[in-house]
Amino acid sequence: MRDALLQRARELDAADPLAGFRDRFMLPDGVIYLDGNSLGALPKETPSRLECVIRGEWGEGLIRSWNSADWIGMTRSIGAKIAPLVGANPNEVIACDSTSVNLFKLIAAALEMRPGRKVILSEPGNFPTDLYMIAGLERQGLAQRRLADRGKLAEALDADVALLLLTHVHYKTGEMHDMAALTKAAHDAGALVLWDLSHSGGALPVDLNACEADFAVGCGYKYLNGGPGAPAYAFVAERHHEAVHQPLTGWFGHEVPFAFSDDYSPAPGIDRLQCGTPPILGLAALEVGVDLVAEIGVDRLARKSRALSEFFLEVLGEWGLDLELVSPLDSAARGSQLSFRHPEAYAICQALIGRGVIGDFRDPDILRLGFAPAYLRFEDMAEAARHLVEVHANGEWQNPEFNQRAAVT
């Protein structure tokens, strides 16, 4: 059976228009990497680009590179490159800070734009940082958190809600929200909407402006392959550029930072989302990842992502493994991942990693496998599924070494 499945996988790889892009990434031999939804793989071009920025622009150019290499413009120029990946205009996206910090800025800004309303509506089980970022504003008496289950969000949108805050593709289950419908429902209730695109940006088509979204944020280190701790991005629809005031009023968000004025005056447009000096090395690495995603094209990536995960499920089925799938069965309703529930998910995940199949575990019982379509092959699907079947069947995961929890799971 293994040979027949591998044969089919290789035929699919031979017909895959994206197959050549795998070679643009550095992937260790013997590893099947199913965690690009957590940390994207390293583009081969990144080390030489960083070398150039470090030796040439920093080493030789020194401080002059803020102007000569346009370091000063990188947050905006990289934001403009991310924009088409998420259905935004180039002047509506900026690459800066972390997703958490950008969430804070935009939640606070939304509260100010909806005076008299304090409620931030989200769902239980949203990514922790999205929920925690409301807490700081709650402590200051500025916000009030309300959580409603999927399916009950529309009815929880009343006249107290300032902002609907949701993650487009759920980090644990991979379920995708209907961005257009929920944005409309929020607007009908007089609320604004902030979408966390961490698990969709760069992997699936996102059309913020077609949905009339107000705000969005997203990670640079997942599907954008920007490297560990890469700068994140923030989107503000152009119609809000004058009205949006974020609370982290650092000098890089000032209209003329180098006027060194005593008084803060926000920059026009998306620039006012900036706070302090941007991390140039991180931005340089992010730019390589973003360029690569743009070159491949989000539509093609999404098509392949669906094909990969469908094939993975098909192979599991052929082997007769019936695990509890918590992701939607319909590939159009999920992001680029499959999540399975199992009481021993942690140990199974570790046993897979022991075999070179790298996925991750999300507490308390989720085995999460991400299918970054830019560099995965159908052959990887066939082999990863076989490893999962074997680990499950032979009880390999019962080895005590696979139950020792590391700090990062």
Ligand X SMILES: Cc1ncc(COP(=O)(O)O)c(C=O)c1O
Looking at 25, 33, 127, 340, which residue is catalytic?
127
Dihedral of alpha carbons 81, 215, 369, 402, sign? positive
Binds ligand X (CB under 6 A): choice among 91, 98, 144, 249: 98
* Residue 251 C-beta: closest distance to ligand X, Å: 22
Compute the distance between CA of residue 378 and CA of residue 187 in angstroms, rounded to an integer: 42
Under a CB-based contact definition with an 8 Å cutoff, are residues 33 and 353 in contact?
A: no
- String of DSSP letters for 271-304: GGG--S---HHHHHHHHHHHHHHHHH-HHHHHHH
Residue 127 lies near ligand X (rule: CB under 6 A): yes
Does residue 361 have an active-site annotation? no
Cβ atoms of 174 and 335 within 8 Å: the answer is yes
296 in Cβ contact with 19 (< 8 Å): no
Q: Is 129 a known ligand-binding residue?
A: yes
409 is a contact residue toward ligand X (CB under 6 A): no
Contacting residues for 364 by C-beta, under 8 A, at least 6 apart: none
247 is in an annotated binding site: no
Q: Per-residue string for binding with ligand X, 211-240, x by CB under 6 A?
A: --------x------------x--------
User: Least CB distance from residue 340 to ligand X, whole Å?
Assistant: 18
In the DSSP assignment, the letter for residue 40 is: P
Catalytic residue status for 184: no
Among 13, 35, 92, 196, which residue sits at the site for ligand X (rule: CB under 6 A)? 196
Q: Which stretch binds ligand X (CB under 6 A): 23-31, 51-59, 94-102, 400-408?
A: 94-102
Q: Are 380 and 32 in contact (CB under 8 A)?
A: yes
Which of 76, 118, 368, 377 is catalytic? The answer is 368
Q: Measuring CA to CA, which residue among 236, 339, 230 is closest to residue 290?
A: 230
- Pairing assessment for the beta strands 215-218 and 192-196 based on DSSP bridges: parallel
Decide: is 183 part of the binding site for ligand X (CB under 6 A).
Answer: no
Of 221, 223, 252, 375, catalytic: 221
Q: Which two tokens mark 66?
A: 């803020």
**Catalytic status, residue 233:** no
Q: Which of 46, 75, 167, 309 binds ligand X (CB under 6 A)?
A: 167
Q: Is residue 10 flagged as an active site residue?
A: no
360 is catalytic: no
Tell me whether residue 105 or residue 392 sits nearer to ligand X (CB atom). Answer: 105
* Residue 49 to residue 45: CA distance in whole angstroms: 6
Which residues are annotated as part of the binding site for pyridoxal 5'-phosphate? 99-100, 127-130, 167, 196, 199, 221, 251, 277
- Binding residues for ligand X (CB under 6 A): 98-100, 127, 129-130, 167, 171, 196, 198-199, 219, 232
Catalytic (active-site) positions: 127, 196, 221-222, 368
